[in-house]
Amino acid sequence: MPLAGWRRRVLAAGGFPASWLLAGPATSIPAWTWALAALPLLMAYPLRAWRDAPLFPTPAGALDALSGRLTLPPRASLLDAGCGLGHGLEALRSAWPDARIEGVEASLPLAWACRWRCRWARIHRGDLWGHDWGGHDLVYLFQRPESMPRAAAKARAEMRPGAWLVSLEFPVPGWTPGHRVALDPRRTLWAYRIGPEPAARSTGAGPRR
Ligand SMILES: C[S@@+](CC[C@H](N)C(=O)[O-])C[C@H]1O[C@@H](n2cnc3c(N)ncnc32)[C@H](O)[C@@H]1O
């Protein structure tokens, strides 16, 4: 699969030469220093975040195409579930400038950095699966394909009818999107309107509209 973006290409091309260059001097380094070096990584990516997505920022303006299509109340409440450094929050703000914007992030350093970058947003440090989505008019996700069935079940159980679940790149299996926007040949935005039927009567991850 072709790699898009210069950062990805540099990482892919540089990985082997970098490890080869480091392999020689590394034999003289005590083994425990590797455990020490892993600590910042573990802080940035706590174990529970490994199931979902690592940090990958939403491109600027990625949600603008949805702003005219989704009906949201004035001063709508929007949540980026797994907000990373805040690029998704910025995309939400660009699309809905008058909205009240919140994020939840599992990684402590990322949550701190995000609070510092996006002072206009409310950032919770915690697990996106334990965080209540119920009070929000729109929940935005940029996670993994494997996370989508669980996200759909959570949205169905907690979000009110008429609210929106929006996902960058990864669709909800079995749900029919209210809107589908191709951002580029590789990336699609999926927007699902939560239907009116009570959660107790819903059956599996079937279509919502
Ligand atoms: C692909 S990035 C998206 C970041 C941001 N939403 C954006 O679009 O720019 C996924 C983010 O979700 C966070 N994450 C993964 N699993 C999580 C969980 N269970 N609870 C909260 N955050 C999580 C990761 O730490 C990472 O910052």
Ligand 1 center to residue 56 CA distance, Å? 8
Q: What's the rounded Cα separation, in Å, for the pair 148 and 155? A: 10
Q: Where are any strands of DSSP class E within 62-178?
A: 77-81, 100-105, 122-125, 138-141, 164-168
pLDDT at 202: 38
Ligand 1 center to residue 182 CA distance, Å? 22
Cβ of 80 below 6 Å from ligand 1? yes
Parallel, antiparallel, or unpaired for β 179-182 and 122-125? unpaired
139-162: per-residue pLDDT in tens? 999 999 999 999 999 999 999 999
Amino acid letter, 177? P
pLDDT-derived band at 95, boundaries 50, 70, 90: very high
- Which phi and psi (to 5°) does residue 26 adopt? -65, -25
Cβ of 57 below 6 Å from ligand 1? yes
Cβ of 44 below 6 Å from ligand 1? no
pLDDT at 10: 74
pLDDT at 151: 97
pTM value > 0.95? no
Cβ of 128 below 6 Å from ligand 1? yes
DSSP-derived secondary structure letter, 107 = -
Q: Which residue ranges make up each domain of the chain? A: 7-45, 64-201
159-175: per-residue pLDDT in tens? 999 999 999 999 999 99
Ligand 1 center to residue 179 CA distance, Å? 23
Q: 């599996």: which residue's tokens?
A: 204
pLDDT at 116: 98
Ligand 1 center to residue 31 CA distance, Å? 31
Cβ of 103 below 6 Å from ligand 1? no
Contact 191, 166 (CB under 8 A): yes
Ligand 1 center to residue 53 CA distance, Å? 6
Of the candidates 189, 195, 199, which has an alpha carbon nearest to the alpha carbon of residue 58? Answer: 189
CATH code that applies to domain 64-201: 3.40.50.150
What average pLDDT does range 68-93 have in this prediction?
97
pLDDT at 126: 95
175-189: per-residue pLDDT in tens? 999 999 999 988 999
Cβ of 53 below 6 Å from ligand 1? yes
Helices 108-117 and 32-44, interaxial angle, to 10°?
50
DSSP-derived secondary structure letter, 200 = G
2-54: per-residue pLDDT in tens? 555 666 677 777 777 777 776 666 667 777 776 777 676 666 666 665 666 77
